[in-house]
Structure 1
Protein backbone atom coordinates (compact mmCIF):
# COMPACT_ATOMS: atom_id res chain seq x y z
CA UNK A 1 0.00 0.00 0.00
CA UNK A 2 1.62 3.29 -1.05
CA UNK A 3 1.63 6.42 1.09
CA UNK A 4 2.00 10.07 0.25
CA UNK A 5 4.42 11.95 2.53
CA UNK A 6 3.43 15.27 3.98
CA UNK A 7 5.32 18.31 2.61
CA UNK A 8 7.18 18.74 5.93
CA UNK A 9 8.47 15.18 5.94
CA UNK A 10 9.35 15.34 2.25
CA UNK A 11 11.56 18.42 2.86
CA UNK A 12 13.44 16.95 5.83
CA UNK A 13 13.68 13.15 5.99
CA UNK A 14 15.03 13.37 9.56
CA UNK A 15 11.50 14.36 10.61
CA UNK A 16 10.10 11.09 9.28
CA UNK A 17 8.63 8.78 11.93
CA UNK A 18 11.09 6.39 13.55
CA UNK A 19 10.08 2.81 14.33
CA UNK A 20 9.65 1.89 17.98
CA UNK A 21 11.69 -0.88 19.62
CA UNK A 22 9.17 -3.46 18.40
CA UNK A 23 9.50 -2.23 14.76
CA UNK A 24 6.08 -0.54 14.57
CA UNK A 25 6.08 2.87 12.87
CA UNK A 26 3.98 5.53 14.58
CA UNK A 27 1.11 7.13 12.70
CA UNK A 28 1.88 10.67 11.54
CA UNK A 29 -0.76 13.28 10.73
CA UNK A 30 -0.52 14.41 7.14
CA UNK A 31 0.13 11.03 5.58
CA UNK A 32 -2.68 9.88 3.32
CA UNK A 33 -3.02 6.55 1.64
CA UNK A 34 -3.72 5.76 -1.92
CA UNK A 35 -6.74 3.63 -2.64
CA UNK A 36 -6.20 0.24 -1.00
CA UNK A 37 -5.55 -2.73 -3.27
CA UNK A 38 -4.96 -0.74 -6.46
CA UNK A 39 -4.32 -3.45 -9.07
CA UNK A 40 -2.50 -3.11 -12.36
CA UNK A 41 -4.31 -5.28 -14.87
CA UNK A 42 -2.93 -6.90 -17.96
CA UNK A 43 -4.42 -9.11 -20.56
CA UNK A 44 -3.44 -12.68 -21.22
CA UNK A 45 -4.28 -15.11 -23.94
CA UNK A 46 -4.05 -18.80 -24.61
CA UNK A 47 -1.25 -19.67 -27.00
CA UNK A 48 -0.58 -23.02 -28.63
CA UNK A 49 3.11 -23.87 -28.33
CA UNK A 50 5.50 -26.65 -27.48
CA UNK A 51 7.83 -26.12 -24.54
CA UNK A 52 11.44 -25.44 -25.54
CA UNK A 53 13.36 -28.71 -25.97
CA UNK A 54 10.23 -30.90 -25.95
CA UNK A 55 9.06 -32.92 -28.95
CA UNK A 56 5.45 -34.04 -29.14
CA UNK A 57 2.81 -35.07 -31.65
CA UNK A 58 0.46 -32.40 -30.19
CA UNK A 59 0.82 -28.69 -29.58
CA UNK A 60 -0.71 -27.96 -26.16
CA UNK A 61 -2.38 -24.76 -25.01
CA UNK A 62 -0.05 -22.56 -22.94
CA UNK A 63 -0.79 -19.86 -20.39
CA UNK A 64 1.52 -17.63 -18.38
CA UNK A 65 0.47 -17.98 -14.72
CA UNK A 66 2.37 -15.92 -12.14
CA UNK A 67 5.45 -15.79 -14.37
CA UNK A 68 5.41 -19.54 -15.05
CA UNK A 69 4.77 -20.98 -18.52
CA UNK A 70 2.12 -23.68 -18.09
CA UNK A 71 1.68 -26.14 -20.96
CA UNK A 72 -1.59 -28.09 -20.69
CA UNK A 73 -0.84 -31.58 -22.04
CA UNK A 74 -3.56 -34.26 -21.92
CA UNK A 75 -1.97 -36.11 -18.97
CA UNK A 76 -0.35 -33.28 -16.98
CA UNK A 77 0.53 -29.61 -16.83
CA UNK A 78 4.18 -29.08 -17.73
CA UNK A 79 5.42 -26.01 -15.86
CA UNK A 80 8.49 -24.08 -17.03
CA UNK A 81 9.98 -21.69 -14.48
CA UNK A 82 13.57 -20.39 -14.39
CA UNK A 83 14.63 -22.87 -17.10
CA UNK A 84 13.41 -25.77 -14.94
CA UNK A 85 10.53 -28.09 -15.78
CA UNK A 86 8.03 -29.57 -13.37
CA UNK A 87 4.95 -31.69 -13.98
CA UNK A 88 1.63 -31.37 -12.19
CA UNK A 89 -0.85 -34.20 -12.55
CA UNK A 90 -4.43 -33.03 -12.99
CA UNK A 91 -5.64 -35.36 -10.25
CA UNK A 92 -3.20 -33.67 -7.83
CA UNK A 93 -4.33 -30.15 -8.77
CA UNK A 94 -6.68 -28.47 -6.30
CA UNK A 95 -8.65 -25.50 -7.62
CA UNK A 96 -11.18 -23.08 -6.22
CA UNK A 97 -13.02 -20.03 -7.54
CA UNK A 98 -13.82 -16.91 -5.56
CA UNK A 99 -15.13 -13.43 -6.27
CA UNK A 100 -12.79 -10.52 -5.60
CA UNK A 101 -13.40 -6.77 -5.76
CA UNK A 102 -10.45 -5.05 -7.46
CA UNK A 103 -9.63 -1.37 -7.64
CA UNK A 104 -8.16 -0.70 -11.08
CA UNK A 105 -6.90 2.35 -12.98
CA UNK A 106 -9.50 1.76 -15.71
CA UNK A 107 -12.19 -0.89 -15.95
CA UNK A 108 -11.73 -3.65 -18.54
CA UNK A 109 -14.51 -3.59 -21.12
CA UNK A 110 -15.91 -6.97 -19.97
CA UNK A 111 -15.79 -6.19 -16.23
CA UNK A 112 -18.74 -5.59 -13.92
CA UNK A 113 -18.20 -2.28 -12.10
CA UNK A 114 -19.58 -2.57 -8.56
CA UNK A 115 -18.48 0.79 -7.13
CA UNK A 116 -15.83 3.46 -7.11
CA UNK A 117 -13.31 5.05 -4.79
CA UNK A 118 -10.78 7.86 -4.88
CA UNK A 119 -7.08 7.53 -5.72
CA UNK A 120 -6.24 9.35 -2.45
CA UNK A 121 -8.72 8.67 0.32
CA UNK A 122 -9.42 10.52 3.60
CA UNK A 123 -10.05 8.60 6.80
CA UNK A 124 -13.80 9.03 6.26
CA UNK A 125 -13.58 7.43 2.79
CA UNK A 126 -14.04 10.69 0.88
CA UNK A 127 -11.60 12.32 -1.50
CA UNK A 128 -8.44 13.96 -0.15
CA UNK A 129 -8.82 17.46 -1.59
CA UNK A 130 -5.09 18.26 -1.25
CA UNK A 131 -4.37 16.34 -4.44
CA UNK A 132 -5.61 17.94 -7.64
CA UNK A 133 -4.90 14.72 -9.58
CA UNK A 134 -7.21 12.81 -7.21
CA UNK A 135 -9.62 11.02 -9.50
CA UNK A 136 -12.25 8.33 -9.07
CA UNK A 137 -11.18 4.74 -9.64
CA UNK A 138 -13.56 1.91 -10.56
CA UNK A 139 -14.04 -1.09 -8.29
CA UNK A 140 -14.59 -4.15 -10.50
CA UNK A 141 -15.86 -7.61 -9.66
CA UNK A 142 -13.22 -10.15 -10.73
CA UNK A 143 -13.18 -13.92 -10.41
CA UNK A 144 -10.06 -15.74 -9.27
CA UNK A 145 -9.09 -19.37 -9.83
CA UNK A 146 -6.61 -20.43 -7.18
CA UNK A 147 -4.55 -23.51 -8.04
CA UNK A 148 -2.24 -25.59 -5.86
CA UNK A 149 -0.69 -29.05 -5.94
CA UNK A 150 0.95 -31.32 -3.40
CA UNK A 151 4.28 -30.90 -5.25
CA UNK A 152 4.33 -27.16 -4.50
CA UNK A 153 2.80 -25.61 -7.62
CA UNK A 154 0.73 -22.51 -6.88
CA UNK A 155 -0.97 -20.24 -9.35
CA UNK A 156 -3.68 -17.61 -9.52
CA UNK A 157 -5.71 -16.76 -12.61
CA UNK A 158 -7.92 -13.67 -12.52
CA UNK A 159 -10.79 -13.01 -14.88
CA UNK A 160 -12.49 -9.65 -15.32
CA UNK A 161 -15.46 -11.34 -17.00
CA UNK A 162 -17.67 -12.53 -14.15
CA UNK A 163 -18.84 -16.09 -14.72
CA UNK A 164 -15.93 -17.11 -16.96
CA UNK A 165 -13.83 -18.79 -14.25
CA UNK A 166 -16.37 -21.36 -13.06
CA UNK A 167 -16.43 -23.41 -16.32
CA UNK A 168 -12.60 -23.41 -16.40
CA UNK A 169 -12.51 -24.59 -12.78
CA UNK A 170 -15.11 -27.29 -13.54
CA UNK A 171 -13.00 -28.48 -16.51
CA UNK A 172 -9.85 -28.77 -14.34
CA UNK A 173 -11.78 -30.81 -11.78
CA UNK A 174 -13.34 -33.08 -14.44
CA UNK A 175 -9.94 -33.76 -16.05
CA UNK A 176 -8.55 -34.51 -12.58
CA UNK A 177 -11.37 -37.00 -11.86
CA UNK A 178 -10.96 -38.75 -15.20
CA UNK A 179 -7.18 -38.81 -14.83
CA UNK A 180 -7.45 -40.44 -11.39
CA UNK A 181 -10.00 -43.00 -12.65
CA UNK A 182 -7.74 -43.96 -15.56
CA UNK A 183 -4.68 -44.27 -13.33
CA UNK A 184 -6.62 -46.41 -10.83
CA UNK A 185 -8.00 -48.60 -13.63
CA UNK A 186 -4.65 -49.09 -15.42
CA UNK A 187 -3.91 -52.45 -13.74
CA UNK A 188 -7.34 -53.71 -14.88
CA UNK A 189 -6.78 -52.70 -18.49
CA UNK A 190 -4.03 -55.20 -19.21
CA UNK A 191 -4.07 -56.69 -22.68
CA UNK A 192 -2.99 -60.23 -23.46
CA UNK A 193 -0.93 -61.18 -26.45
CA UNK A 194 -2.09 -64.46 -28.03
Structure 2
Protein backbone atom coordinates (compact mmCIF):
# COMPACT_ATOMS: atom_id res chain seq x y z
CA UNK A 1 0.00 0.00 0.00
CA UNK A 2 1.37 3.42 -1.01
CA UNK A 3 0.62 6.31 1.35
CA UNK A 4 -1.50 9.05 -0.26
CA UNK A 5 -1.84 11.48 2.64
CA UNK A 6 1.03 13.76 1.62
CA UNK A 7 2.59 16.28 4.00
CA UNK A 8 0.75 17.19 7.19
CA UNK A 9 0.76 20.46 9.12
CA UNK A 10 4.00 19.56 10.89
CA UNK A 11 5.79 19.30 7.53
CA UNK A 12 4.19 22.01 5.35
CA UNK A 13 5.72 25.46 5.21
CA UNK A 14 3.06 28.21 5.36
CA UNK A 15 2.33 30.01 2.09
CA UNK A 16 -0.43 32.40 3.23
CA UNK A 17 0.01 36.05 4.21
CA UNK A 18 0.91 37.39 7.64
CA UNK A 19 1.94 35.55 10.80
CA UNK A 20 -1.37 33.81 11.54
CA UNK A 21 0.21 30.34 11.50
CA UNK A 22 2.92 31.38 13.96
CA UNK A 23 0.28 32.81 16.28
CA UNK A 24 -1.92 29.71 16.06
CA UNK A 25 0.96 27.36 16.81
CA UNK A 26 1.98 29.53 19.74
CA UNK A 27 -1.58 29.56 21.12
CA UNK A 28 -2.02 25.81 20.65
CA UNK A 29 1.20 25.18 22.56
CA UNK A 30 0.06 27.06 25.68
CA UNK A 31 -0.51 24.80 28.67
CA UNK A 32 -3.70 25.06 30.73
CA UNK A 33 -3.30 26.26 34.32
CA UNK A 34 -6.93 26.16 35.51
CA UNK A 35 -7.21 22.33 35.71
CA UNK A 36 -4.08 22.16 37.88
CA UNK A 37 -5.39 24.91 40.15
CA UNK A 38 -8.76 23.14 40.41
CA UNK A 39 -7.05 19.85 41.30
CA UNK A 40 -4.87 21.44 43.97
CA UNK A 41 -7.89 23.23 45.41
CA UNK A 42 -9.86 19.99 45.61
CA UNK A 43 -7.02 18.22 47.45
CA UNK A 44 -6.65 21.07 49.95
CA UNK A 45 -10.39 21.19 50.62
CA UNK A 46 -10.63 17.43 51.18
CA UNK A 47 -7.50 17.35 53.34
CA UNK A 48 -8.70 20.12 55.67
CA UNK A 49 -12.43 19.39 55.99
CA UNK A 50 -14.56 20.95 57.34
CA UNK A 51 -12.44 24.12 57.55
CA UNK A 52 -11.26 23.59 53.98
CA UNK A 53 -14.66 24.67 52.71
CA UNK A 54 -13.70 28.21 53.65
CA UNK A 55 -11.03 28.07 50.93
CA UNK A 56 -13.75 27.94 48.28
CA UNK A 57 -14.75 31.56 48.83
CA UNK A 58 -11.50 33.13 47.55
CA UNK A 59 -10.32 30.18 45.44
CA UNK A 60 -13.33 29.65 43.14
CA UNK A 61 -13.12 33.17 41.60
CA UNK A 62 -9.36 32.63 41.15
CA UNK A 63 -9.88 29.33 39.32
CA UNK A 64 -12.55 30.96 37.15
CA UNK A 65 -10.13 33.80 36.31
CA UNK A 66 -7.42 31.28 35.41
CA UNK A 67 -9.86 29.46 33.11
CA UNK A 68 -10.68 32.71 31.30
CA UNK A 69 -6.97 33.52 31.09
CA UNK A 70 -6.26 30.08 29.62
CA UNK A 71 -8.93 30.64 26.99
CA UNK A 72 -7.44 34.00 26.05
CA UNK A 73 -3.89 32.64 25.78
CA UNK A 74 -5.00 29.61 23.75
CA UNK A 75 -7.01 31.51 21.12
CA UNK A 76 -6.18 33.80 18.23
CA UNK A 77 -8.83 36.34 17.25
CA UNK A 78 -9.13 37.22 13.55
CA UNK A 79 -11.76 39.51 12.03
CA UNK A 80 -12.28 39.30 8.28
CA UNK A 81 -13.38 42.41 6.40
CA UNK A 82 -14.88 40.64 3.38
CA UNK A 83 -16.97 42.54 0.83
CA UNK A 84 -17.88 42.62 -2.87
CA UNK A 85 -16.44 39.79 -4.97
CA UNK A 86 -14.43 38.11 -2.14
CA UNK A 87 -17.59 38.02 -0.01
CA UNK A 88 -19.62 36.52 -2.86
CA UNK A 89 -16.85 33.98 -3.52
CA UNK A 90 -16.62 32.87 0.11
CA UNK A 91 -20.40 32.67 0.36
CA UNK A 92 -20.46 30.47 -2.73
CA UNK A 93 -17.72 28.29 -1.22
CA UNK A 94 -19.73 27.81 1.97
CA UNK A 95 -22.87 26.91 0.01
CA UNK A 96 -21.02 24.51 -2.27
CA UNK A 97 -19.36 22.72 0.66
CA UNK A 98 -22.80 22.33 2.22
CA UNK A 99 -23.68 20.32 -0.90
CA UNK A 100 -20.60 18.17 -0.26
CA UNK A 101 -21.56 17.80 3.43
CA UNK A 102 -24.98 16.49 2.38
CA UNK A 103 -23.40 13.48 0.65
CA UNK A 104 -24.30 10.45 2.73
CA UNK A 105 -20.90 8.78 2.42
CA UNK A 106 -17.68 10.80 2.76
CA UNK A 107 -14.17 9.38 3.10
CA UNK A 108 -10.51 10.26 2.78
CA UNK A 109 -8.37 7.80 0.85
CA UNK A 110 -5.18 7.24 2.84
CA UNK A 111 -3.41 4.54 0.85
CA UNK A 112 -3.58 2.76 -2.50
CA UNK A 113 -2.24 -0.63 -3.50
CA UNK A 114 -2.25 -2.45 -6.82
CA UNK A 115 -3.33 -6.09 -7.14
CA UNK A 116 -0.65 -7.63 -9.32
CA UNK A 117 -1.59 -11.33 -9.46
CA UNK A 118 -4.70 -13.17 -10.59
CA UNK A 119 -5.08 -14.69 -7.11
CA UNK A 120 -4.99 -11.25 -5.45
CA UNK A 121 -7.70 -9.98 -7.78
CA UNK A 122 -9.87 -13.07 -7.37
CA UNK A 123 -10.01 -12.83 -3.56
CA UNK A 124 -10.84 -9.12 -3.81
CA UNK A 125 -13.87 -9.26 -6.09
CA UNK A 126 -11.77 -8.93 -9.29
CA UNK A 127 -10.77 -5.42 -8.22
CA UNK A 128 -7.75 -3.86 -9.90
CA UNK A 129 -6.52 -2.16 -6.72
CA UNK A 130 -7.21 -1.72 -3.02
CA UNK A 131 -7.97 1.53 -1.20
CA UNK A 132 -7.54 2.27 2.49
CA UNK A 133 -9.98 4.97 3.57
CA UNK A 134 -11.39 6.62 6.68
CA UNK A 135 -14.67 8.49 7.15
CA UNK A 136 -14.58 12.29 7.27
CA UNK A 137 -16.89 14.80 8.93
CA UNK A 138 -17.86 18.27 7.72
CA UNK A 139 -18.67 21.14 10.08
CA UNK A 140 -19.01 24.93 9.77
CA UNK A 141 -17.69 26.07 13.16
CA UNK A 142 -14.50 28.06 13.65
CA UNK A 143 -11.35 25.95 14.19
CA UNK A 144 -10.00 25.20 17.62
CA UNK A 145 -7.64 27.98 18.75
CA UNK A 146 -9.13 30.44 16.22
CA UNK A 147 -11.95 32.87 17.00
CA UNK A 148 -13.33 34.56 13.91
CA UNK A 149 -16.37 36.41 12.62
CA UNK A 150 -17.10 34.04 9.70
CA UNK A 151 -18.35 30.48 9.38
CA UNK A 152 -15.46 28.16 8.51
CA UNK A 153 -16.18 25.01 6.44
CA UNK A 154 -14.06 22.23 7.94
CA UNK A 155 -13.30 18.70 6.71
CA UNK A 156 -11.91 16.49 9.48
CA UNK A 157 -10.23 13.10 9.12
CA UNK A 158 -8.80 11.70 12.35
CA UNK A 159 -6.21 14.13 13.76
CA UNK A 160 -6.10 16.10 10.49
CA UNK A 161 -8.44 18.86 9.33
CA UNK A 162 -8.85 21.29 6.44
CA UNK A 163 -10.34 24.69 7.37
CA UNK A 164 -11.49 26.85 4.45
CA UNK A 165 -10.87 30.48 5.48
CA UNK A 166 -11.65 33.48 3.27
CA UNK A 167 -7.96 34.08 2.52
CA UNK A 168 -6.34 30.63 2.71
CA UNK A 169 -6.76 26.91 3.28
CA UNK A 170 -5.77 26.19 6.87
CA UNK A 171 -4.38 22.75 7.67
CA UNK A 172 -4.33 21.28 11.19
CA UNK A 173 -2.61 18.14 12.46
CA UNK A 174 -3.23 17.69 16.16
CA UNK A 175 -2.11 20.99 17.71
CA UNK A 176 0.02 22.11 14.75
CA UNK A 177 -1.12 24.41 11.96
CA UNK A 178 0.05 25.34 8.49
CA UNK A 179 -1.67 26.75 5.41
CA UNK A 180 -1.83 26.72 1.62
CA UNK A 181 -2.67 29.70 -0.53
CA UNK A 182 -5.74 29.16 -2.72
CA UNK A 183 -3.68 30.46 -5.64
CA UNK A 184 -1.49 27.34 -5.65
CA UNK A 185 -4.17 24.81 -4.66
CA UNK A 186 -4.81 22.12 -7.26
CA UNK A 187 -8.39 20.77 -7.37
CA UNK A 188 -8.94 17.69 -9.54
CA UNK A 189 -12.44 16.12 -9.47
CA UNK A 190 -13.10 12.69 -10.97
CA UNK A 191 -15.25 9.58 -10.57
CA UNK A 192 -14.22 6.08 -9.52
CA UNK A 193 -15.81 2.64 -9.41
CA UNK A 194 -15.63 1.14 -5.93
CA UNK A 195 -16.60 -2.29 -4.62
CA UNK A 196 -18.56 -1.47 -1.48
CA UNK A 197 -18.18 -4.00 1.35
CA UNK A 198 -19.72 -1.74 3.99
CA UNK A 199 -23.03 0.06 4.27
CA UNK A 200 -24.25 1.18 0.85
CA UNK A 201 -25.13 4.92 0.77
CA UNK A 202 -28.59 5.54 -0.61
CA UNK A 203 -27.38 8.48 -2.74
CA UNK A 204 -24.66 6.43 -4.46
CA UNK A 205 -24.97 5.07 -7.99
CA UNK A 206 -25.05 1.25 -8.16
CA UNK A 207 -23.46 0.32 -11.51
CA UNK A 208 -22.60 -3.37 -11.17
CA UNK A 209 -22.30 -6.38 -8.85
CA UNK A 210 -19.43 -8.72 -8.10
CA UNK A 211 -18.63 -11.60 -5.77
CA UNK A 212 -16.33 -11.17 -2.79
CA UNK A 213 -14.38 -14.19 -4.04
CA UNK A 214 -14.66 -14.25 -7.80
CA UNK A 215 -13.43 -16.31 -10.71
CA UNK A 216 -11.61 -14.71 -13.61
CA UNK A 217 -14.84 -14.74 -15.64
CA UNK A 218 -16.69 -12.86 -12.89
CA UNK A 219 -18.62 -15.78 -11.46
CA UNK A 220 -18.47 -16.92 -7.81
CA UNK A 221 -15.53 -18.98 -6.58
CA UNK A 222 -17.28 -22.10 -5.23
CA UNK A 223 -14.38 -22.97 -2.93
CA UNK A 224 -15.55 -20.30 -0.46
CA UNK A 225 -18.71 -21.06 1.54
CA UNK A 226 -19.51 -17.55 2.78
CA UNK A 227 -19.14 -15.86 -0.57
CA UNK A 228 -21.41 -12.83 -0.77
CA UNK A 229 -22.36 -10.52 -3.60
CA UNK A 230 -21.03 -6.98 -3.34
CA UNK A 231 -22.32 -3.86 -5.10
CA UNK A 232 -20.02 -1.93 -7.42
CA UNK A 233 -20.67 1.77 -6.87
CA UNK A 234 -19.78 4.84 -8.89
CA UNK A 235 -18.45 7.44 -6.46
CA UNK A 236 -17.16 10.96 -6.82
CA UNK A 237 -13.57 11.87 -6.00
CA UNK A 238 -11.57 15.05 -5.67
CA UNK A 239 -7.86 15.52 -5.06
CA UNK A 240 -6.77 18.65 -3.19
CA UNK A 241 -3.02 19.11 -3.61
CA UNK A 242 -0.29 21.73 -3.61
CA UNK A 243 3.34 21.92 -4.78
CA UNK A 244 4.36 22.17 -1.12
CA UNK A 245 3.13 18.62 -0.41
CA UNK A 246 -0.55 18.85 0.57
CA UNK A 247 -2.52 15.86 -0.68
CA UNK A 248 -6.09 15.03 0.30
CA UNK A 249 -7.88 12.45 -1.86
CA UNK A 250 -11.56 12.64 -0.96
CA UNK A 251 -14.24 10.13 -1.98
CA UNK A 252 -17.99 10.71 -1.64
CA UNK A 253 -21.11 8.77 -2.48
CA UNK A 254 -22.97 11.49 -4.42
CA UNK A 255 -21.02 11.79 -7.68
CA UNK A 256 -21.39 15.54 -8.24
CA UNK A 257 -21.26 16.60 -4.56
CA UNK A 258 -17.94 18.48 -4.94
CA UNK A 259 -18.34 19.83 -8.47
CA UNK A 260 -19.51 23.31 -7.48
CA UNK A 261 -16.87 23.58 -4.74
CA UNK A 262 -14.17 22.57 -7.24
CA UNK A 263 -15.22 25.29 -9.67
CA UNK A 264 -15.25 27.87 -6.87
CA UNK A 265 -11.84 26.90 -5.50
CA UNK A 266 -10.29 27.13 -8.96
CA UNK A 267 -11.21 30.83 -9.21
CA UNK A 268 -10.17 32.44 -5.90
CA UNK A 269 -10.51 36.24 -5.62
CA UNK A 270 -7.98 38.73 -4.31
CA UNK A 271 -7.25 38.12 -0.64
CA UNK A 272 -9.52 39.93 1.83
CA UNK A 273 -8.19 42.16 4.58
CA UNK A 274 -7.88 40.68 8.04
CA UNK A 275 -7.26 42.25 11.39
CA UNK A 276 -6.69 41.02 14.90
CA UNK A 277 -4.26 38.74 16.63
CA UNK A 278 -3.67 36.69 19.73
CA UNK A 279 -5.68 37.92 22.70
Q: Mean Cα displacement is larger for which, 85-94 or 163-172?
A: 163-172
Aligned equivalent of 1:81, options 173, 178, 181: 173
**1:40 Cα deviation after fit:** 7.5
Give secondary structure in 2 for the equivalent of 1:174.
coil
Provide the rounded CA distance (Å) in 1 between the counterparts of 2:191 and 2:151: 32
Instruction: Determine the structure 1 residue equivalent to 2:229.
Output: 136
1:127 is aligned to 2:220: yes
Partners of 2:204 and 2:253 within 8 A in 1: yes
Deviations 1:83-140 (A, max 9, x none): 2111111111011111100000242100111101100112332111122211110011
Structure 1 residue ranges without an equivalent (≥5):
2-26, 187-194
Q: Which runs of 5+ in 2 are unaligned?
A: 2-116, 274-279
More displaced, 34-43 or 157-166? 34-43
Cα distance, 1:47–1:139 mapped onto 2, change above 3 Å: same
Following superposition, the deviation at residue 79 of structure 1 comes to: 0.5
Residue 69 (str. 1) matches residue 161 (str. 2):
yes
TM-score, normalized by length of structure 2? 0.49
Cα separation, 2, equivalents of 1:133 and 1:79 = 43
Matched, 1:168 2:261: yes
Equivalent residue of 1:163, what SS?
coil
The equivalences for 1:88-167 within 5 A come to 88-105=180-197, 106-167=199-260
User: Which of 137, 141, 145 is 1:49 aligned to?
Assistant: 141
1:33 paired residue among 113, 123, 128: 123
Give, in whole Å, the separation in 2 of the partners of 1:113 and 1:28: 25
Q: CA RMSD in A?
A: 2.9
Alpha-carbon distance change, 112 to 32 in structure 1, aligned in 2, over 3 angstroms: closer
After TM superposition, the structure 1 stretch with the greater mean CA deviation from structure 2, 163-172 or 112-121, is: 163-172
- The residue aligned with 1:191 is none
Number of equivalences = 154
Q: What do the CA deviations read for 1:42-97 (whole angstroms, capped 9, x no partner)?
A: 65442122222223223411112585211111001111014211111111101111
CA contact (8 A) 2:135 2:157 kept: no
In proportion to residue count, which structure has more strand? Answer: 1
CA change 1:123–1:62 in 2 (3 A) is same
Query: Does the 8 Å contact 2:137/2:157 carry over to 1?
Result: no
Other structure's SS at 2:265 match: helix
